[in-house]
Amino acid sequence: MDFGFFTHDVVRRGKIGHGQIGPSPALRRGLLEEADREIRRWLGALGFDARAAEAGPADVAALEQLIERAQRLRLFTIGGVPVRNFTALALINHYLHPRLYIESGYFTGSSIFAAFFNKRLERVIGFDPVPSNYRIDRESEAVRVDRRQTDFATYEGLDVPAEDALAYFDDHINTAARILQSAEKGLLHVIFDDSCGVNGTCQRLWPSMPTLFFIRRHKEIAEGERLSWEHHPASNLSLRSLGKRLLGRSGPTRLECRFDDKMLELCREADECIAAVHKIPDLSDFIFDLASPTVETTQHFVVLKRR
Ligand X SMILES: C[S@@+](CC[C@H](N)C(=O)[O-])C[C@H]1O[C@@H](n2cnc3c(N)ncnc32)[C@H](O)[C@@H]1O
Question: How many residues does the structure list for the chain?
Answer: 307
Q: Nearest 10 degrees: CA dihedral of 204, 76, 128, 231? A: 10
Binding residues among 97-136 for ligand X as defined by CB under 6 A: 104-108, 110-111, 127-130, 133
| Choice between 55 and 89, CB closer to ligand X | 89
Residue 228: beta bridge partners? 256
**Min CB(287)–ligand X separation in Å:** 15
Does 66 bind ligand X (CB under 6 A)? Our answer is: no
Among 56, 79, 224, 243, binds ligand X (CB under 6 A): 79
| Choice between 27 and 130, CB closer to ligand X | 130
CB 282 within 8 A of CB 296: yes
Nearest Cα to 232, choosing from 209, 208, 254? Answer: 254
Selected range binding ligand X among 25-33, 79-87, 235-243, 290-298, rule: CB under 6 A: 79-87
| Choice between 129 and 224, CB closer to ligand X | 129
Size of the site for ligand X (CB under 6 A): 20
Which helix (DSSP H) or strand (DSSP E) does residue 258 occupy? strand 253-258
Residue 78: beta bridge partners? none
Strands 100-104 and 165-169: parallel
Burial of 207 (0-12, 13-18, 19+ CB in 10 A): buried
| Choice between 127 and 192, CB closer to ligand X | 127
Selected range binding ligand X among 30-38, 73-81, 196-204, 288-296, rule: CB under 6 A: 73-81
Binding residues among 252-281 for ligand X as defined by CB under 6 A: none
Binding residues among 6-65 for ligand X as defined by CB under 6 A: none
How far CA 74 is from CA of 6, 71, 87, 135, in Å, comes to 40, 5, 16, 7
Burial of 196 (0-12, 13-18, 19+ CB in 10 A): buried
| Choice between 98 and 105, CB closer to ligand X | 105
**Min CB(256)–ligand X separation in Å:** 20
Does 80 bind ligand X (CB under 6 A)? Our answer is: yes
**Min CB(205)–ligand X separation in Å:** 11
Which helix (DSSP H) or strand (DSSP E) does residue 191 occupy? strand 189-192
| Choice between 90 and 267, CB closer to ligand X | 90
Rounded to whole angstroms, the Cα distance separating 158 from 186 reads 6
Binding residues among 156-195 for ligand X as defined by CB under 6 A: 170-173
| Choice between 53 and 291, CB closer to ligand X | 291
Rounded to whole angstroms, the Cα distance separating 239 from 191 reads 35
Q: Which residues bind ligand X (CB under 6 A)?
A: 79-81, 104-108, 110-111, 127-130, 133, 151, 170-173
